[in-house]
């Protein structure tokens, strides 16, 4: 560490003359290089604008159906944003974000991912490659190794300002438990251990005697139990089950648990519920259920998140035995029952093996029946009675609780217990990863009215309305689930066909698909200020969207919401 400087390091580097240089390239060669450089920069956006323009012309001639709508960047830049305003920063942000998702980025990205996966055993931010073909959800590993909610580092001066309003899980859950208790409802939290907790050996890095838990887990559980929350933690039991050879606990290429492990947990939870004194008295709705064995395959959500080329042969579908639950009375899948005293809140760990959008369906079609072999159905079977299910993929932190709070007081009064199934990673995220993964912990707004203010008409109503504003939704390529709805608010509503809307309903809130299979669909590009015609149905009547993510407004909660599948532009009001 001598203070002497080598000869090539000037004592006064700033005032040195510029480095000597020699340009040994002829005029023609230099011009060719300049053209090549500009071609690399210009070709992708020009190609995109031209192809999108041609697509727009083709779509103007005929109905495009579910096809991704044309989006010509240089034209769209000048249109209003989804929130109905034209602000330069907003336009620029939206333009930038859309450019990052441009279709011309797909082929090179996928080719690189395939090369890295095949040759360097490298996944991406969402999918971590373990041993022997085991895949892990990257954010889950990060949540497990991260600082956690109790000892999360304070935010620095350069931190994202959005993080400063972020609230950790613990205080929110405690307040929620107190609110439920006021209403005579018991809260049972069921944090589902994530794959690296139970199968760390398959991720690598060492040998493990038992399950891996987050450092804060015990403290977290203790603080909840201290305020009367029952925490059913199956981490050690599932690890023991894996060790005892009773069957697989997790799927190899998917984030979620193996159906046999899930069924076992459903039965264990049911036993807890059955031990409650009120249970035997509330058997009025008792049902009988049968089981039907089947076998289904899925590539797994973790392979989907790798986003490999369609022709890639690196992975093959994983087949699992499913036990479908059949309601003896109806002969169909057990339905959610809003009158049940047992409420099941949950995320994709509840929906998997029921919601075909999570895989394991009969086909790849969007419109197929629910599978009926999920956690909720097995819980109902084990209880011998239907349960009230509110489960949304990736949204068990707040949205499912808000959906329950949206019910009228009369509906809430009959509830006895809330079983809250949530991926444990959601509990342990630090602010940054939480926001990246769409996990927000907020208090819910309880509906104060005793009975419905409006009786929403059943069935479909054809309306014309002007789009006032739309909730922003995240980039389809950056979220954990390939499908998402978003909320829109409409004014000047005119019923064209069907039952009249309740008096006093000045504006209506309608959920449309923003993107499906990670592609923005036509309904995701509705323009604020424009008038559309569409058929609405009360959201609670539409079973195919009940588990889907919804992008809502940050500071607004709407109690009565409709759903519409498509919208046709019409001339002004």
Partner 1 sequence: MVFSSHIFVFYFLPLALLSYYAAPRAMKHLVLTLVSYVFYGWWNPWFTLLMLGSTVVDYYCGRLITGEGASRRRRKTGLWVSVVVNLGVLGFFKYANFGAATASGVIALFGGDPVVVPAFLGQVVLPVGISFYTFQSMSYSIDLYRGHAKPACGFIDFACYVSMFPQLVAGPIVRYGSVSEQLRSRVHTVGGFTMGLARFNLGFAKKILFANPMGTIADAAFAAGPGVLTSPAAWFGVAAYAFQIYFDFSAYSDMAIGLGRMFGFRFPENFNSPYKSRSITEFWRRWHISLSSFLRDYLYIPLGGNRLGGGRTYVNLMTVMLIGGLWHGASWNFVVWGGIHGLMLAFERLMGRKPFFGGLPGWVRLVFTFIILLITWVFFRAENFDVAARYLAAMFGGGGGASAAPLLSAVLFTPFNLVLFAGCAVAAFFAPRTVRILAVLTPWKVWVSIGLLAGALAVMFWQGFNPFLYFQF
Chain residues 58-117 in contact with partner 1, contact rule CB under 8 A: 88-89, 92, 95-96, 99-100, 102, 105-106, 108-109, 111-113, 116
Task: Figure out which of the listed residues 30, 118, 178, 218 binds partner 1, where binding follows CB under 8 A.
Answer: 30
Chain residues 374-433 in contact with partner 1, contact rule CB under 8 A: 430, 432-433
For partner 1, give the closer residue by CB, 196 or 374.
196
- 204 lines the binding site for partner 1 (CB under 8 A): yes
State the DSSP string of 147-201: -TTTSPPPPPTTS-GGGGG---HHHHHHHHHHHHHHTT-EEEEEEEPPHHHH-GG
Min dist CB 214 to partner 1, Å, is: 7
Task: Figure out which of the listed residues 7, 20, 555, 571 binds partner 1, where binding follows CB under 8 A.
Answer: 20
CA dist 326 and 377 (Å) reads 9
Contact in structure between 556 and 491 (CB atoms under 8 Å): no
| Contacts of 346 by beta carbon, 8 Å cutoff, 6+ apart | 375, 376, 389, 390, 391, 396, 400, 420, 421, 422
Of residues 261, 203, 207, 271, the one with CA closest to residue 234: 261
CA dist 338 and 60 (Å) reads 44
For the chain, the distance separating the N- and C-terminal CA atoms, rounded to the nearest angstrom, is: 78
Contact in structure between 124 and 305 (CB atoms under 8 Å): yes
Q: Which two tokens stand for residue 181?
A: 């208790």
- Vertex 35: Cα angle to 30 and 38 (nearest 5): 125
Min dist CB 532 to partner 1, Å, is: 30
DSSP state at residue 570: E
Min dist CB 44 to partner 1, Å, is: 6
For partner 1, give the closer residue by CB, 193 or 334.
193
Task: Figure out which of the listed residues 7, 61, 78, 120 binds partner 1, where binding follows CB under 8 A.
Answer: 120
Min dist CB 474 to partner 1, Å, is: 13
Q: What string marks each residue from 246 to 285 as x (binds partner 1 by CB under 8 A) or -?
A: ----------------------------------------
- 25 lines the binding site for partner 1 (CB under 8 A): yes
If one counts every other C-beta atom within 10 angstroms of the C-beta of residue 286, the result is 10
484-497 and 461-470 strand pairing? antiparallel
CA dist 517 and 368 (Å) reads 15
For partner 1, give the closer residue by CB, 20 or 572.
20
Task: Figure out which of the listed residues 57, 58, 118, 125 binds partner 1, where binding follows CB under 8 A.
Answer: 125
For partner 1, give the closer residue by CB, 49 or 294.
49
For partner 1, give the closer residue by CB, 28 or 500.
28
Of residues 375, 421, 391, 134, the one with CA closest to residue 254: 134
**Residue count at the site for partner 1 (CB under 8 A)?**
94
Min dist CB 5 to partner 1, Å, is: 5
Min dist CB 81 to partner 1, Å, is: 15
For partner 1, give the closer residue by CB, 442 or 478.
478
For partner 1, give the closer residue by CB, 40 or 60.
40
For partner 1, give the closer residue by CB, 130 or 341.
130
Q: What string marks each residue from 138 to 157 as x (binds partner 1 by CB under 8 A) or -?
A: ---xx-xxxxx--x-xxxxx
Contact in structure between 425 and 381 (CB atoms under 8 Å): no
Q: Which two tokens stand for residue 58?
A: 């083709």
Min dist CB 109 to partner 1, Å, is: 4
Whats the size of the chain, residue-wise? 573
Min dist CB 320 to partner 1, Å, is: 25
Task: Figure out which of the listed residues 192, 198, 212, 306 binds partner 1, where binding follows CB under 8 A.
Answer: 212
Chain residues 472-491 in contact with partner 1, contact rule CB under 8 A: 478
For partner 1, give the closer residue by CB, 20 or 284.
20
Q: E strand or H helix at 462, and its extent?
A: strand 461-470
CA dist 179 and 401 (Å) reads 11
CA distances from 426 to 71, 231, 303, 353, 421 (A): 35, 15, 21, 21, 11
CA dist 368 and 295 (Å) reads 17
Task: Figure out which of the listed residues 133, 171, 210, 459 binds partner 1, where binding follows CB under 8 A.
Answer: 210
CA dist 416 and 373 (Å) reads 25
Q: E strand or H helix at 230, and its extent?
A: strand 230-231
Among the residue ranges 17-25, 277-285, 401-409, 495-503, the one whose residues contact partner 1 (CB under 8 A)? 17-25
For partner 1, give the closer residue by CB, 10 or 247.
10
Quick one: how far is CA 232 from the chain centroid?
24
Chain residues 35-54 in contact with partner 1, contact rule CB under 8 A: 36-38, 40-42, 44-45
Among the residue ranges 203-211, 265-273, 309-317, 404-412, the one whose residues contact partner 1 (CB under 8 A)? 203-211
């Amino acid at each position: 560490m001598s203070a002497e400087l080598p000869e090539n390091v000037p004592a006064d580097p700033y005032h040195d003359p510029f480095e000597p240089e020699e340009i040994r390239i002829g005029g023609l060669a230099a011009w060719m290089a300049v053209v090549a450089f500009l071609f690399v920069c210009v070709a992708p956006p020009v190609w995109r604008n031209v192809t999108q323009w041609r697509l727009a012309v083709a779509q103007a001639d005929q109905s495009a159906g579910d096809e991704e709508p044309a989006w010509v960047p240089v034209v769209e830049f000048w249109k209003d944003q989804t929130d109905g305003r034209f602000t330069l920063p907003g336009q620029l942000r939206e333009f930038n974000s859309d450019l990052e998702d441009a279709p011309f980025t797909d082929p090179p990205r996928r080719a690189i991912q395939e090369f890295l996966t095949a040759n360097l055993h490298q996944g991406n931010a969402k999918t971590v490659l373990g041993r022997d073909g085991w895949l892990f959800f990257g954010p889950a590993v990060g949540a497990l190794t991260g600082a956690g909610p109790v000892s999360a580092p304070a935010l620095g001066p350069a931190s994202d300002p959005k993080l400063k309003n972020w609230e950790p899980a613990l205080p929110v859950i405690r307040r929620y438990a107190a609110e439920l208790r006021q209403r005579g409802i018991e809260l049972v939290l069921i944090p589902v251990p994530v794959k690296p907790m139970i199968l760390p050996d398959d991720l690598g890095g060492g040998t493990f005697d038992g399950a891996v838990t987050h450092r804060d887990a015990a403290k977290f559980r203790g603080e909840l139990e201290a305020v009367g929350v029952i925490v059913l933690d199956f981490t050690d039991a599932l690890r023991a089950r894996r060790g005892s050879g009773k069957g697989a606990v997790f799927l190899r290429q998917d984030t979620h648990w193996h159906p046999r492990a899930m069924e076992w947990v459903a039965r264990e939870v049911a036993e807890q519920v059955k031990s409650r004194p009120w249970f035997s008295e509330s058997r009025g709705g008792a049902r009988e259920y049968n089981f039907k064995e089947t076998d289904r395959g899925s590539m797994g959500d973790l392979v989907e998140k790798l986003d490999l080329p369609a022709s890639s042969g690196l992975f093959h579908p994983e087949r699992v035995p499913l036990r479908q639950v059949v309601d003896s009375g109806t002969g169909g899948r057990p339905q959610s029952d809003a009158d049940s005293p047992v409420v099941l809140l949950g995320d994709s760990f509840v929906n998997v093996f029921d919601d075909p959008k999570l895989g394991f369906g009969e086909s790849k079609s969007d419109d197929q029946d629910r599978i009926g072999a999920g956690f909720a159905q097995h819980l109902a079977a084990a209880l011998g009675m239907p349960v009230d299910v509110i489960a949304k993929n990736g949204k068990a932190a707040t949205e499912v609780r808000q959906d329950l709070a949206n019910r009228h007081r009369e509906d809430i009064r009959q509830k006895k217990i809330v079983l809250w199934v949530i991926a444990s990673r959601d509990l342990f995220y630090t602010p940054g990863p939480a926001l990246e993964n769409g996990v927000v912990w907020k208090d819910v707004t309880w509906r104060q009215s005793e009975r419905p203010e409006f009786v929403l008409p059943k069935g479909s109503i054809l309306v014309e309305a002007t789009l006032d504003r739309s909730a922003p939704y995240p980039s389809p390529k950056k979220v954990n689930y390939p499908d998402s709805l978003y909320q829109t608010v409409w004014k000047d509503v005119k019923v064209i066909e069907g039952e009249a809307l309740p008096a006093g309903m000045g504006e209506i809130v309608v959920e449309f698909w923003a993107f499906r299979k990670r592609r923005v669909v036509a309904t995701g590009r509705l323009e604020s200020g424009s008038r559309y015609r569409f058929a609405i149905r009360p959201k609670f009547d539409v079973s195919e969207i009940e588990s889907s993510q919804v992008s809502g407004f940050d500071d607004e909660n709407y109690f009565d919401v409709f759903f519409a599948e498509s919208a046709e532009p019409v001339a002004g009001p």
